[in-house]
Amino acid sequence: MADVWQSSMDHAVAVARKAGEMVRGALKDDRTVMTKSSAVDLVTQTDQKVEQLIIQSVKEKFPTHRFIGEESVAAGESCNLTDDPTWIIDPIDGTTNFVHAFPFVAVSIGFSVNKQVEFGVVYSCLEDKMFTARRGRGAFCNGEPLQVSEQTDALVTHLTCVFRVRGAGTAAINMCLVASGCAEAYYEIGIHVWDVAAGSLIVSEAGGVLLDVDGGDVDLMSRRIVAANNRTIAERIVKEIESFTLQRDDAPLQS
Ligand SMILES: O=P(O)(O)O[C@H]1[C@H](O)[C@@H](O)[C@H](O)[C@@H](O)[C@@H]1O
Ligand SMILES: [Mg+2]
């Protein structure tokens, strides 16, 4: 990656930390659910405030950059990735955790150019862990290099009856667990681009493998992903799970 994106990445880290402070503060006194479109799809005022904080602060510094944010898309903005520099933001990944004070909540910021993720930042707010990756330059947690595990006996961070299962309740942290070598794999159907844009780069820069749940190349707009420490485990997961298709994130808006 050309050094031209370093200042954007530095800004992403700084604003993710600020956003994390806001999330920690709100955990104490503002976890009220505003809307609930399903048992798992919750929105709080804090989700919206944190997204605004990030977008405003980025706009001031990088006025030409574009945004895809979970709450902005929920409010009707389009979710199309162009070749322009684009910040892909999940203000609170793990909103259900946040509402219950279950202590795994992340701010996730991916940054893409020419439809390729150039850097990813995931701040695990309560653990105070800042996960970062730049394309071609490795993945880190609080500055320490990350490496996926060499285990062949897989611990998986999502539902399956074949593997041992753990789940943090946030796609971004689940992926950082794979990147950190604490779990061998994560898969999910139903996530959105803002859940996985940053985490996917963190996994691949830590030496992991990303696949679509049908075994092809991962497509961040397709709402499905397998992330694993190696290809053998990724392909085993592909074989074991029953895949299905959901409406893509970039599907044309219904009029
Ligand atoms: O809605 P948030 O909390 O941003 O994202 C969550 C997804 O909605 C949910 O489907 C998924 O299981 C969870 O891992 C993800 O982070
Ligand atoms: Mg999310």
**pLDDT tens, residue by residue, 157-170:** 765 566 788 899 99
The number of the ligand 1 atom at minimal distance from the alpha carbon of 94 is 3
Is residue 38 domain-shared with residue 160, that is, in the same domain? no
What is the sign, positive or negative, of the torsion defined by CA atoms of 36, 123, 167, 26?
negative
Amino acid 131: pLDDT: 98
Is there a contact between 179 and 202 (Cβ–Cβ < 8 Å)? Answer: yes
Active site residues: 70, 90, 92-93, 95, 195
How much is the pTM?
0.95
pLDDT above 70 for 122: yes
3-class DSSP state for residue 189?
Answer: strand
Ligand number, closest to the Cα atom of 104: 1
Is there a contact between 174 and 186 (Cβ–Cβ < 8 Å)? Answer: yes
**End position of a domain, from candidates 144, 166, 200:** 144
**pLDDT tens, residue by residue, 203-232:** 999 999 999 999 999 999 999 999 999 999
Q: Which of 73, 191, 246 maximizes ligand 1 atoms within 8 Å of its Cβ, making it the mutation to test the pocket?
A: 191
Question: Residue 166 sits in a domain of what CATH number?
Answer: 3.40.190.80
Counted domains in the chain: 2
Question: Residue 58 sits in a domain of what CATH number?
Answer: 3.30.540.10
Ligand 2 center to residue 68 CA distance, Å? 12
Is residue 44 domain-shared with residue 135, that is, in the same domain? yes
For 83, which DSSP code?
S
User: Where is the binding site for Mg(2+), in residues?
Assistant: 70, 90, 92-93, 195
**Distance from first CA to last CA of the chain, Å, rounded?**
39
- Per-residue pLDDT, averaged over 125-140, amounts to 98
Is residue 25 domain-shared with residue 134, that is, in the same domain? yes
| Confidence band of 179 (pLDDT split at 50, 70, 90) | very high
Q: 163-196 in b/e burial notation, b at 16+ Cβ within 10 A?
A: beeebbbbbbbbbbbbbbbebbbbbbbebbbbbb
The number of the ligand 1 atom at minimal distance from the alpha carbon of 98 is 3
Q: What are phi and psi of 106, to 5 degrees?
A: -130, 155
Amino acid 157: pLDDT: 75
Token representation of residue 242: 């029953």
Rounded CA gap, 125 and 21, in Å?
7
Q: Is residue 18 part of a domain?
A: yes
